[in-house]
Amino acid sequence: MTTGILALQGDFREHAEMLASIGQAAVEVRRPEQLDALDSLIIPGGESTTIARLILRYSFTEPLRAFCASGRPTWGTCAGAILLAKQVDDLDRPGIETMDMTVARNAFGRQVDSFEAGIEIGGLDGKPFRAIFIRAPVIESVGEGVEVLGRLEDGAIVAARQGNLLATAFHPELGGDTRLHEYFLTIGAAERPRAGAGA
Ligand code: GLN
């Protein structure tokens, strides 16, 4: 089982460290051909306009869409969530456009560039997840097949899932809580043949 982390720009190293800390093999993905060998993929936070530009430049658009359509778990965090969304306010070029939700970039304004909040996340046991938001987007609305997993106190949606697709507006790779990475690795696990189980 290998998880890829799209490593064009942004927080890919922090995700790799988080995965290493829970014993999950991870590779940094810089070429579309690398996607074939992966079981799951994380699209990290960073600057969504920059990542979108690099996705176009390195011909990642169709391979990433095909990866998501293949049913393999794909998780967009912060800028990565922006790139997964079918509709985005204020992104000047296309992203992956696969998850049925509308996302607004930089939703919290300049005054509160970054903040932390405890979020109850569906599927996670124990205490609220201490989520770090950095110039974060918000999920303004979701389509019928999308399950809302977490909201801020004011009701704003900050975590959602549509089948194999997961989106979080915050940075789960910061703060040392591995529960969301562990949760991500359970997505689709029941359907995947176990390594060594034979064909
Ligand atoms: N503000 C960034 C964007 O719109 C996202 C911020 C982040 O990933 N921390 O791309």
At 167, the amino acid letter reads: A
> Which residues face 40 on adjacent strands?
3
Catalytic one of 173, 181, 182, 191: 173
CB atoms near residue 9 (< 10 Å) = 18
106 lines ligand 1 (CB under 6 A): yes
160 closest CA partner among 121, 119, 106: 121
Tell me, what's the pLDDT at 113? 84
Structure tokens at 143: 């389509």
Give pLDDT, residue 190.
Answer: 63
Annotated catalytic residue within 33, 78, 97, 147? 78
* Ligand 1 centroid, distance to 82 Cα (angstroms): 8
Nearest CA to ligand 1 atom 1: 135
Q: Does residue 173 have an active-site annotation?
A: yes
Q: Report the DSSP beta bridge partners of residue 3.
A: 26, 40
Distances (CA, A) of 146 to 98, 99, 111, 157, 166: 12, 8, 31, 12, 9
List per-block mean pLDDT (blocks of 10 residues) for the chain, which spans 199 residues: 97 98 97 98 98 98 98 98 96 96 90 88 96 97 98 97 98 97 90 48
How far is the CA of 105 from the CAs of 45, 130, 137, 148, in angstroms?
12, 21, 4, 18
Q: Record the tokens describing residue 177, joined without a space.
A: 């809580």
